[in-house]
Each structure stands twice: as structure tokens, then as C-alpha cells.
């Protein structure tokens, strides 16, 4: 890729019949390979990182079941994420029509939902942010961090706890 210029999400670098992965250098993970299928655009950025819009969602085997949301322009920005259905199987937030429209999705389109993960040493476990999931429409490669305002979901849900179930039942 030397001399090809900066990598642009959505652009495939082809030589003959092959598509070559791009290499992203991160501070926390080192060098990580990303294929064009992993490229995502977050038009609104992330909370606290509104200027960062181009990312790759990668799955290094050594970190399974975690995936990582990596910024193309900031090697410091590498967020561990978990698929919501794996972390909190009964997690059922609802998306507004505006959220779906921003992703180029219609009501019937499947959306992937990821939760930013964090190790909470004080509580002795892994937490995920249920209040601000990252919603991905694979067909358009658009994603959005949706901040849920209904108060049902915690920003530091302890994975494996019943805290979410109890809060959801009280809100219902």
C-alpha cells in the first residue's frame, strides 16, 4: 500500500483478483488488519469523539468474543465492544425512525447492536454501556451511537448481573 495515499473507508484496494486488508496501527492493540467489509462510517461520531467518523470494526481472534471499534485517524481510539445479544440477551431497546433513517435502514432491516465494554475493577467485573449502544446497518456500512433517554438502561451494566432485568421489569 506504500504510495497509495490514505486509506478511505469503502474503497477497496485490489491487485488482480485479491482484496488486501488494510493495516491499522493502534496504541492498545498494536497493528491490526481490517478488510473493507469492516469499514464503518459514523456520520455523527461517538459521544466525546464527535470529530471521529471513520472506523473499522475488527475481530482479532486473541480478543474473542470482543470486537474492537478502531478509529482510522486516531491510534489512541480503540474501543472494545460486545455484541449486545451476547452480553445481555434480553436487551431490547427501540430505535426511532430518525435513527433508522440516519443509517439508511427501513423498519424491516436487521441492525447489529454493539455495547462498549469496560473493566470495572471496583466491582470486580466487566460492564457494558446499555444507554448508548452502537447500532450498525451492515448493508450501508453506516453506524450510529444512539443515546437512549428513557432511563431504563445503565451506562455501567455489570455483565451477568440481574440489574438490567430488574430495572426493565420496574419500568414496564
To which H or E segment does residue 41 belong? Answer: strand 39-41
Q: What is the maximum span of the chain, computed from C-alpha positions, in angstroms?
A: 59
Name the more confident of 24 and 18: 24
Cell reading at 131: 444507554
Q: Is the pLDDT of residue 14 over 90?
A: no
Domain 14-171 has CATH 2.30.290.10: yes
- Tell me: pLDDT of 11 over 60: no
Cα-Cα end-to-end distance for the chain: 54
pLDDT, tens digit (0-9, with 9 covering 90-100), for 111-134: 999 999 999 888 889 999 999 999
Q: What band does 157 get if pLDDT is binned at 50, 70 and 90?
A: very high
The stretch 150-170 carries a mean pLDDT of: 70
Q: Which of 114, 37, 53 is nearest to 80 (CA)?
A: 114
In terms of pTM, does the model score above 0.85?
Answer: no
Residue 9 pLDDT: 47
pLDDT for res 162: 62
Q: Is the pLDDT of residue 165 over 60?
A: no
Burial class (CB in 10 A: 0-12, 13-18, 19+), 158: middle
Q: Average pLDDT over the chain, rounded to whole?
A: 84
Residue 5 has pLDDT above 60, yes or no: no
Q: What is the pLDDT of residue 93?
A: 94
Higher pLDDT, 137 or 13: 137
**26 or 147: which leads in pLDDT:** 147
Amino acid at each position: 500500500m506504500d504510495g497509495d495515499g490514505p486509506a478511505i473507508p469503502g474503497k477497496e484496494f485490489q491487485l488482480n483478483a485479491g482484496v488486501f486488508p488494510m493495516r491499522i496501527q493502534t496504541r492498545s492493540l498494536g497493528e491490526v488488519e481490517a478488510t473493507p467489509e469492516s469499514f464503518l462510517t459514523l456520520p455523527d461520531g461517538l459521544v466525546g469523539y464527535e470529530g471521529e467518523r471513520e472506523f473499522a470494526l475488527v475481530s482479532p481472534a486473541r480478543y474473542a468474543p470482543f470486537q474492537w471499534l478502531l478509529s482510522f485517524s486516531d491510534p489512541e481510539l480503540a474501543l472494545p465492544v460486545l455484541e449486545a445479544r451476547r452480553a445481555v440477551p434480553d436487551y431490547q431497546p427501540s430505535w426511532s425512525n430518525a435513527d433508522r433513517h440516519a443509517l439508511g435502514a427501513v423498519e424491516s432491516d436487521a441492525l447489529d447492536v454493539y455495547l462498549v465494554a469496560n473493566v470495572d475493577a471496583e466491582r470486580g467485573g466487566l460492564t457494558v454501556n446499555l444507554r448508548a449502544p452502537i447500532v450498525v446497518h451492515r448493508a450501508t456500512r453506516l453506524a450510529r451511537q444512539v443515546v437512549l433517554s428513557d432511563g431504563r438502561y445503565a451506562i455501567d451494566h455489570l455483565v451477568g448481573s440481574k440489574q438490567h432485568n430488574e430495572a426493565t421489569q420496574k419500568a414496564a
